[in-house]
Each structure stands twice: as C-alpha cells, then as structure tokens.
C-alpha cells in the first residue's frame, strides 16, 4: 500500500508524493514547484526516484528540472508530450504499466483537457492520480481536446472500482459543488457533500481525495445519463456525450 503525501502549493494546486514502503521507492506527481517537494522528502527521509507528469501545463511540470538535477530521478510522461514536458526520460501510452517498488501503476490515456493528458491508476492502493481530467464534482476545461474526447476519458474512470480514491490536481471542490447545485438542486447526496466541503474549506482543510462513489453520486460530468440532469440542461434523450458537452459549456459560463 502506498503512503501518499499531499502538498498544497500555489493558489490551489496539489502535488502528491507516492512512497512504496517495502522498496523505499518514491515518486512525485506533477511537481509545480521543487522546494515543497524537497522539504517533504527531507522530513520523511525519502529519496526521489521518479516524476510522474499528467500533462504539460507549467503548474504541473515547473519543478521537473530542479528535482531531476537534485536527485537524478527519472521523468515519466505521455509520448505525446515528450517535446512539451521538460526533462522526459521515459514515455508511456495507454495500457502501459509502471512499477513503484511492489506497486503496479496503470497508465490511462485521458485526452480532453490537453491532447496528451494521462492519468496514473494504482489498483492495489485504490488510488487515481488524474491531474486536470477530473476534479471533485467537476472536470477540466477543454484547452486542446474535444468534449467527446473528455467524455470518453471520464467513461474510463467510471469503470474503475467505486472505492477508488480520486487525487486530482486542484482544490476546486466548493466552486464545482456550487455549479453542480444549479444542475441538481434536489440531489440529496450533492447537498450532503457540499455541506461537508463547505465545512472543510472553512477549517482550511483539503476536500481531496474524494472517492469515485462520491463522484458518481454528485459530479454532474459523470451523471449525464441521469434523466434529471438531462432535463435540467434541456437535453432530454440526447446522446450522453452531447449532454456532457452542454454541461461543460454551462460550467464555462458559470
């Protein structure tokens, strides 16, 4: 089982340290900054072996080269982003598997937010590191891909075990929940989740991770096949991907 350390940085980013205790191997997911990672490694007495990047945006890769210089770690990223992410040593594609000590990590191609976006799924630890593809009660903006691509990516997440913990890259939960309430005001699971989130935010505590079960019950971008959602956005009996696209459009203008 991985030990996961969550580092809040910048305005609302999360960096994640993954430590496999048997081997002692450690990876960092999307180091926006190097210094907080250095500090956490020193406090824990861990040595960094890998950087796992989900996509090329600066607030996910800015610490790459400093950490590589410090630790000689290996940087892993999507083959699509080989020339867009600094310091890449190894590229991966959908269906590839990595190992972090005794932990197997499955690569899921999740285009939409960007064309080269990938996510890292750890089945033994029931943890998904999904970057900016999905947020708690939300999903990423369409900077490069299409709504249908992002919808297809989210279908892959929906097929994972419902106990999977969702480690997304930003603390957007409260704002996402407020938008979700405009779609499903009568959803009791959403009402409960937003109340919990509001309390956590007031106490300056993270709302991440959520679980896939929570997201299936509250995230409008995973609920496009629900009749109430379709009615709310004026898309009753339309294709799921087109309903999703409408919700994304509404969120863009929220």
Specify binding-site residues. 55, 57, 59-60, 113, 132, 170
Q: Tokens at residue 49, please?
A: 């072996």
* Residues flagged as binding site for Zn(2+): 55, 57, 59-60, 113, 132, 170
DSSP 212-240: HHHHHHH-GGG-TT-HHHHHHTT-TT--H
Taking CB atoms within 8 Å and a gap of at least 24, the contacts of 226-231 are 226/184, 228/184, 228/186, 228/187, 229/183, 229/184
Q: Which of 19, 56, 113, 117 is catalytic?
A: 113
Known active-site residue 59: yes
Collapsing DSSP states into helix, strand and coil, what is residue 27? strand
Known active-site residue 132: yes
Residue in the block written with tokens 């989210």: 154
Known active-site residue 186: no
Q: Which of 30, 56, 59, 117 is catalytic?
A: 59
Q: Which of 19, 60, 81, 117 is catalytic?
A: 60
Known active-site residue 56: no
Q: Tokens at residue 215, please?
A: 């997201």
Does the CA dihedral 222-226-229-234 come out positive or negative?
A: positive
Q: Which of 55, 81, 186, 252 is catalytic?
A: 55
Known active-site residue 96: no
Q: Which of 57, 117, 124, 186 is catalytic?
A: 57
Alpha-carbon span 240 to 152, nearest angstrom: 10
Task: Provide CB contacts within 8 A for 172, sequence distance 6+.
Answer: 12, 135, 136, 138
| Catalytic residue IDs | 55, 57, 59-60, 113, 132, 170
């Amino acid at each position: 089982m991985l030990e996961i350390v969550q580092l809040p940085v910048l305005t609302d980013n999360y960096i994640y340290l993954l430590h496999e205790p048997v081997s002692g191997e450690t990876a960092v997911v999307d180091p926006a900054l190097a210094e907080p990672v250095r500090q956490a490694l020193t406090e824990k007495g861990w040595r960094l072996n890998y950087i796992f990047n989900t996509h090329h945006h600066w607030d996910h890769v800015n610490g790459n080269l400093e950490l590589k210089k410090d630790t000689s770690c290996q940087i892993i990223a999507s083959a699509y982003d080989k020339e867009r992410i600094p310091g890449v040593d190894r590229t991966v594609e959908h269906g590839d598997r990595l190992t972090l000590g005794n932990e197997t990590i499955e690569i899921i191609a999740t285009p939409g937010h960007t064309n080269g976006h990938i996510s890292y799924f750890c089945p033994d630890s029931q943890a998904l590191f999904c970057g900016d593809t999905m947020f708690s009660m939300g999903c990423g903006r369409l900077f490069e891909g299409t709504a249908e691509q992002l919808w297809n990516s989210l279908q892959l997440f929906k097929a994972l075990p419902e106990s999977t913990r969702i480690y997304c890259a930003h603390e957007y939960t409260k704002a996402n929940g407020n938008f979700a309430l405009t779609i499903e005001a009568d959803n009791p699971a959403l009402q409960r989740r937003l109340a919990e989130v509001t309390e956590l935010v007031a106490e300056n505590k993270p709302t991440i991770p959520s679980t896939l079960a929570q997201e299936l019950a509250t995230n409008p971008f995973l609920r496009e096949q629900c009749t109430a959602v379709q009615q709310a956005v004026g898309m009753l009996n339309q294709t799921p991907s087109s309903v999703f696209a409408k919700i994304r459009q509404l969120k863009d203008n929220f």
